[in-house]
Amino acid sequence: MNRFVPLLLMAGLLFAAGCSKAPETAAPAGPASTGGSGKKLTLGFMPKSKGNAYFISCKQGADEAAKELGVELLFDGPTDPDPAKQNEIVENWITQGVDAIAVACENKDGISTALRKAKQKGIKIVTFDSDAATDAREFFVNQATPEGIGYALMDEAARLTGEAGDFAIITASLTAANMNEWRKHIDARLAAKYPKMKLVTVRPCDDMKDKAQSEATALLSAYPNLKLIMAICSPAVPGAAEAVKQAGKTGTVKVIGLGLPNENRRYVKEGVTQSVILWKTVDLGYLTIQATYAVAKGELKAGATTFKAGRLGAMEIQGDNILLGKPFVFNKDNIDQFDF
Amino acid sequence: MIKRNFRELSVAVALGLLLAFLAVAAPAFYQPQPLLSLLAREAPALVVACGMALVIISRQIDISVGSQFAVCGVSSGLLVAAHWPVALVFPLAILMGAALGAVNGLLVAGLRLPSIVVTLATMVTWREGLRWLRQGQFVNLPDGGQWFGMAQTTGQITLVVAAVLLLVLLAWGMKNLAVGRQVYAVGSDAEAARLAGIRPPLVTMGTFVFIGALAGLAAMMNLAQSPQVDPKSGMGLELKVIAAVVVGGVAISGGRGNLWGVFAGFLLLACISPALTHLHIQAYWEKAIQGGIILLAVVADGLRSRRSNRTGGGAP
Ramachandran assignment for B112, one of left (phi > 0), alpha (psi -120 to 50 degrees), beta (any other): left
Q: How many CA atoms lie within 13 A of A276 on its CB side?
A: 32
Q: Residue B145: how many CB atoms within 10 A of its CB?
A: 17
Compute the count of residue pairs across chains A and B with CB atoms less than 8 Å apart.
123
User: A259 and A196 in one domain?
Assistant: yes
Element (H, E) at A276: strand A273-278
Q: How confident is the model at residue A339 (pLDDT cuts 50, 70, 90)?
A: confident
Residue of A nearest to B61 (CA): A4
For a pLDDT cut of 90, what percent of chain B falls above it?
Answer: 86
Q: How confident is the model at residue B1 (pLDDT cuts 50, 70, 90)?
A: low
Q: Residue B133: how many CB atoms within 10 A of its CB?
A: 14
Give domain status of residue A9, yes or no.
no
Which of B37, B256, B303 to mutate to test binding with chain A, by most A CBs within 10 Å of its CB? Answer: B37
> Is the pLDDT reported for residue A239 higher than 90?
yes
Element (H, E) at B201: helix B200-223
User: A189 and A253 in one domain?
Assistant: yes
Which of A54, A233, A246, A260 to mutate to test binding with chain B, by most B CBs within 10 Å of its CB? Answer: A246
Which of A210, A226, A270 to mutate to test binding with chain B, by most B CBs within 10 Å of its CB? Answer: A210
User: A265 and A150 in one domain?
Assistant: yes
Q: Are strands A124-128 and A254-258 parallel, antiparallel or unpaired?
A: unpaired
> Is the pLDDT reported for residue B316 higher than 70?
no
Q: Report the distance separating Cα B113 and Cα B120, nearest Å.
A: 12
Query: Are residues A287 and A312 in contact, defined by beta-carbon separation less than 8 angstroms?
Result: yes
Q: Print the domain residue range for A182.
A: 146-278
User: A127 and A233 in one domain?
Assistant: no
From chain A, pick out residues whose CB is under 8 angstroms from the CB of B34: 217-218, 220-221, 247
* Domain harbouring A312, CATH code: 3.40.50.2300
Q: How confident is the model at residue A301 (pLDDT cuts 50, 70, 90)?
A: confident
Helices marked H in B26-64: 32-57
pLDDT for residue B210? 98
Q: Would you give the distance in Å from CA B298 to the centre of its chain?
A: 18
User: A222 and A110 in one domain?
Assistant: no
CA-based Rg of chain B, rounded to a whole angstrom?
20
pLDDT for residue A53? 74
> Is the pLDDT reported for residue A175 higher than 90?
no
Task: Give the residues across from A278 on adjacent strands.
Answer: A328
- Please answer yes or no on whether B283 and A203 come within 8 Å at the CB atom: yes
Closest by Cα among B81, B144, B228 to A262: B228
- Please answer yes or no on whether B34 and A11 come within 8 Å at the CB atom: no
Q: How confident is the model at residue A4 (pLDDT cuts 50, 70, 90)?
A: low
- CB neighbours of B232 closer than 8 A, spacing ≥ 6? A207, A208, A209, A235, B70, B136
Q: Report the distance separating Cα A320 and Cα A322, nearest Å.
A: 7
User: A266 and A155 in one domain?
Assistant: yes
- CB neighbours of B72 closer than 8 A, spacing ≥ 6? B93, B96, B97, B100, B215, B216, B219, B220
The arrangement of strands across the sheet holding A139-142 comes to: A72-75, A42-46, A100-103, A124-128, A139-142, A321-323, A314-318, A306-308
User: A120 and A61 in one domain?
Assistant: yes
pLDDT for residue B169? 98
Give per-residue pLDDT as tens, B39-72. 999 999 999 999 999 999 999 999 999 999 999 9
Q: Mean pLDDT, to the nearest integer, of A247-267?
A: 95
Residue of A nearest to B222 (CA): A210
Beta strands in A63-154 (DSSP E): 72-75, 100-103, 124-128, 139-142
Give domain status of residue A92, yes or no.
yes
Give per-residue pLDDT as tens, B227-273. 999 999 999 999 999 999 999 999 999 999 999 999 999 999 999 99
pLDDT for residue A338? 84
User: A318 and A215 in one domain?
Assistant: no
Give domain status of residue A334, yes or no.
no
pLDDT for residue B96? 98
Higher pLDDT, B3 or B73: B73
Q: Residue B199: how many CB atoms within 10 A of its CB?
A: 14
Give per-residue pLDDT as tens, A214-226. 999 999 999 999 9
Question: How many folded domains does chain A comprise?
Answer: 2
Residue of A nearest to B133 (CA): A51
Q: How confident is the model at residue B302 (pLDDT cuts 50, 70, 90)?
A: confident
Q: Mean pLDDT, to the nearest integer, of A190-202?
A: 97
Q: Report the distance separating Cα A8 and Cα B300, nearest Å.
A: 22
Q: Mean pLDDT, to the nearest integer, of A100-119?
A: 89
pTM above 0.80, yes or no: yes
| Backbone phi and psi for residue A138, each to the nearest 5 degrees, phi listed first | -85, -50
Domains of chain B listed by start with CATH number:
6-307 (1.10.3470)
| Burial group, residue A321, by CB count within 10 angstroms (0-12, 13-18, 19+) | middle
Q: How many residues does chain B have?
A: 316
Q: Residue B18: how many CB atoms within 10 A of its CB?
A: 15
Q: Mean pLDDT, to the nearest integer, of A115-143?
A: 91
> Is the pLDDT reported for residue A3 higher than 90?
no
Angle, helix B86-105 to helix B200-223, in steps of 10 degrees? 150
Q: How confident is the model at residue B120 (pLDDT cuts 50, 70, 90)?
A: very high
Domain boundary among A256, A278, A300: A278
- CB neighbours of A106 closer than 8 A, spacing ≥ 6? A48, A78, A81, A82, A83, A86, A130
Give per-residue pLDDT as tens, B168-215. 999 999 999 999 999 999 999 999 999 999 999 999 999 999 999 999
- Please answer yes or no on whether B117 and A201 come within 8 Å at the CB atom: no
From chain A, pick out residues whose CB is under 8 angstroms from the CB of B230: 208-210, 235
Give domain status of residue A95, yes or no.
yes
Give domain status of residue A16, yes or no.
no
Q: Residue A299: how many CB atoms within 10 A of its CB?
A: 12
Q: Mean pLDDT, to the nearest integer, of B11-23?
A: 96
pLDDT for residue A35? 41
| Backbone phi and psi for residue A92, each to the nearest 5 degrees, phi listed first | -60, -40
Tell me the average pLDDT of chain A. 87
Give domain status of residue A201, yes or no.
yes
From chain A, pick out residues whose CB is under 8 angstroms from the CB of B131: 80
User: A234 and A161 in one domain?
Assistant: yes
User: A267 and A218 in one domain?
Assistant: yes
Higher pLDDT, A220 or A33: A220
Give domain status of residue A183, yes or no.
yes
Residue of B nearest to A265 (CA): B140
Give domain status of residue A173, yes or no.
yes
Tell me the average pLDDT of chain B. 93
Q: What is the DSSP letter of B146?
A: G
CA-to-CA separations, B302 to B5, B143, B243, B296, B309, in angstroms, rounded = 16, 51, 15, 10, 11
User: A96 and A49 in one domain?
Assistant: yes
**Distance (Å) from the C-alpha of residue B226 to the closest C-alpha of chain A?**
7
**Distance (Å) from the C-alpha of residue A208 to the closest C-alpha of chain B?**
6
Q: How confident is the model at residue A31 (pLDDT cuts 50, 70, 90)?
A: very low
pLDDT for residue B66? 97
User: A255 and A189 in one domain?
Assistant: yes
> Is the pLDDT reported for residue A13 higher than 50?
no
Considering CB atoms only, which of B132, B152, B280 is closest to A201? B280
Q: What is the ipTM of this complex?
A: 0.92
